[in-house]
Amino acid sequence: MKISELFAKKVPTLSFEVFPPKTSDTYESVKTAAEHIAALKPDFMSVTYGAGGGTSRYTLNIASDIETRYGVPTLAHLTCVSSSRNTVRDRIKNMIDRGIKNVMALRGDIPESMANDDRTNWHYNHAVDLIRELKESDGDFCIGGACYPEVHPESVNQKEDIKHLKEKIDAGCEFLTTQMFFENNLFYNFMYKIREAGITVPIVAGIMPITNAKQVERAIKLSGSHMPQRFKALVDHFGTNPAAMKQAGIAYSTDQIIDLLANGINAVHVYSMNKPDVAAAIQNNISEIIPKKK
């Protein structure tokens, strides 16, 4: 099923994310975690793409496993910046062969080894180039893209960032998923700005449950997201007690999600980090708001 068809129903959706293993020895444990999350019957699941693409086949294996065995629509991520045109075309062909219908088209982070390159030699400079490639391919994909309520770290300002976001939509991107955020007001502000800029596609709010203190530093480094004082207090107070921190982190995310749904945001994506227990806890916490599917 195309994810655009889900959004067209205009009912609230809850989706989860898994990331593929980096090496073959952890493949089975990641696959099992993904299957446990799929058994929760979320509206869809996304499967990320290892930076640089070294583990691309795991993304497709896990995505098609979830879809065929659990009937949960999947969104396979694909990045382009460090790949040649031929490699990307091969990966798109693999997606078509595996029956993948939904693709998250991303640029990917620029690897350090490419930082001083002459970028005019790159086959893909931005996600929009990949979106165009997907649209020109034989696949009839529903294409998603990434967006940044707190501005992409490389952008000169939010106006420029939103201008390029609009280019992705004009090229055929049908929905956008946000970078994680911990302060809903920043997201609402972003929504006003993109709607004003003529971006009308569904926006999926990305929520990351922080369940241990170590994750905080990593999450900030990866996303550059603002950590509100209210959240910092949880980490300061419960960070040394793993069980308490986990409970507090899940409660914080649940609170964010309920506020989003109460304010008319229909699509929530949980960065569930291959943790079925965290995904299940959040799903249970809002089970009267978004009933679990049979």
Q: Which residues are catalytic?
A: 17
User: 200-239 mask for ligand FAD (x: CB under 6 A)?
Assistant: ------x---------------------------------
**Residue 107 interacts with ligand FAD (CB under 6 A): yes or no:** yes
Residues 6+ apart with CB under 8 A from 260: 184, 187, 205, 207, 268
Between residues 63 and 127, which has the closer beta carbon with respect to ligand FAD?
Answer: 127
User: 35-54 mask for ligand FAD (x: CB under 6 A)?
Assistant: -------------xx-x---
Query: Could you give phi then psi for residue 3, rounded to 5 degrees?
Result: -65, -30
Torsion of CA 282, 286, 290, 294, to 10 degrees: 70
Q: Are 230 and 253 in contact (CB under 8 A)?
A: no
**Residue 31 interacts with ligand FAD (CB under 6 A): yes or no:** no
Binds ligand FAD by CB under 6 A, chosen from 55, 66, 77, 190: 77
* DSSP sequence for 96-150: HHTT--EEEEE--PPPGGGTTS-GGG-S-SSHHHHHHHHHHSS---EEEEEE-TT
Between residues 58 and 238, which has the closer beta carbon with respect to ligand FAD?
Answer: 58
**Residue 248 interacts with ligand FAD (CB under 6 A): yes or no:** no
Between residues 248 and 268, which has the closer beta carbon with respect to ligand FAD?
Answer: 268
Q: How far is the CB of 79 from ligand FAD (least distance, A)?
A: 5
Report the relative pairing of strands 44-47 and 13-18 from DSSP bridges: parallel
Please provide the distance, in angstroms rounded to a whole number, between the alpha carbons at the two ends of the chain. Answer: 17
Distance of CA 86 to the CA centre of its chain: 25
Return the number of other C-beta atoms located less than 10 Å from residue 262's C-beta. 9
**Residue 102 interacts with ligand FAD (CB under 6 A): yes or no:** no
Between residues 20 and 239, which has the closer beta carbon with respect to ligand FAD?
Answer: 20
**Residue 21 interacts with ligand FAD (CB under 6 A): yes or no:** no
Return the number of other C-beta atoms located less than 10 Å from residue 291's C-beta. 10
Taking CB under 6 A as the criterion, which residues in 127-146 touch ligand FAD? 127-128, 146
- HSE value, Cβ hemisphere, 13 Å, CA-based, for 57: 3
Q: How far is the CB of 64 from ligand FAD (least distance, A)?
A: 16
Residues 6+ apart with CB under 8 A from 265: 187, 191, 203, 205
Binds ligand FAD by CB under 6 A, chosen from 106, 250, 260, 261: 106
Token pair of 239, please?
Answer: 């960070």
* Rounded distance between C-alpha atoms, residue 60 and residue 130, angstroms: 17
Q: Say which DSSP state 292 is in.
A: P
**Residue 179 interacts with ligand FAD (CB under 6 A): yes or no:** yes
Binds ligand FAD by CB under 6 A, chosen from 26, 155, 212, 215: 155
Q: How far is the CB of 251 from ligand FAD (least distance, A)?
A: 23
Taking CB under 6 A as the criterion, which residues in 184-203 touch ligand FAD? none
Between residues 135 and 213, which has the closer beta carbon with respect to ligand FAD?
Answer: 135
The site for ligand FAD (CB under 6 A) is made up of 48-49, 51, 77, 79, 106-109, 126-128, 146, 152, 154-155, 160-161, 164, 167-168, 177, 179, 206
